Each structure stands twice: as structure tokens, then as C-alpha cells.
Amino acid sequence: MAAASSPGGGFRGWDGWEDCEFIPLGQNLPEGGFDVALDTLALRGIRKHHFAGGEFADETKGLFRADLTLADMRNIFNQAITDPGQWKQANGGAAYREKSVRIDRVVGLTSKKSGEEETKWINIVVSVHGDLVTMYPTRG
């Protein structure tokens, strides 16, 4: 099933991409967790919450740069999931883990409430059941 484009939601030029799973080698998964995939559902959620113009983007959310491509998002995900940093329990409950990761380039802006500063840091949140819950630009 191909993803539809949405005005103002980022992901320029992503029309027609198929459902996908990108699971890199050298993963650093939460304890007892399953392989975490970057898939269409996760990408759509990130697009709606963490790209300018997204349906749920607001002043409390870090926003990715609008010019990021699918390949860029894969790279960001791969760097985050393979980063050797430790996972900690996320606010969502016992089944969720998160960590902050420094990426090799500026990925977006921190939230307006955090000063809307360019950042190379993202926060990644996963479920121990194998779901990428979200990832977003944040302060390091």
C-alpha cells in the first residue's frame, strides 16, 4: 500500500513509496525487546507530529527539517537504533523505552517552548514489542 502525500507534512518527493522495514545490523535494542522496524505506520506518525504543517505538530514538539528524504529518515533511524547508549523507561509505561542520540548532522529544530534551536539530537521511543513509537528532534 503506497503512502499518500499530505500538504505541509514534510517528506517531499515520497509519493509512491511502499511499506518498508529498515532494521539495521548492530542494533542496540531494549532489554528483552524484539527487532524494531522503521515502517510506514511509524513514518506517518512522525510526519503528523514532527514535521511543520503536520496534523498534530505544535509548539511543544521538535520538528524535523522539511527537506529530509526517506533515505535521510532511514539514516537517522539507523544511527539512533544502533547507538550504544542505554535505553531508559519512557513516560508511556513499562513497555516503552527511549534514548537521546546525537546524529551526524542537523536534523531539525527543538520545540518552540525549548527555544526553536537547530539540533543534531533526536529522541527515539520504541516499544519492547518491536514498534517504533516515535522519534523527534530534541535538545541534547
Has residue 123 got a pLDDT over 70?
Answer: yes
Beta pairing, strands 88-89 & 96-102: antiparallel
Quick one: pLDDT at residue 2? 34
Residue 66 has pLDDT above 90, yes or no: yes
What pLDDT does 3 receive?
36
String of b and e for 80-95 (b: at least 16 CB within 10 Å)?
bbebeeebeebeeeee
Tell me the pLDDT tens digit for each residue of 11-31: 444 554 455 666 777 788 887
Of the chain, the percentage scoring pLDDT greater than 90 comes to 58
**Mean pLDDT score of the chain:** 84
Q: Is the pTM of this model over 0.95?
A: no
In this prediction, residue 11 carries a pLDDT of: 47
Report the pLDDT averaged over residues 48-74: 94
CA geometry: angle at 131 spanning 129 and 135, to 5°? Answer: 135
Sheet containing 63-64: give its strands across.
Answer: 63-64, 108-109, 118-119
CA dihedral angle for residue 67, residue 63, residue 27, residue 18, rounded to 10 degrees:
-50
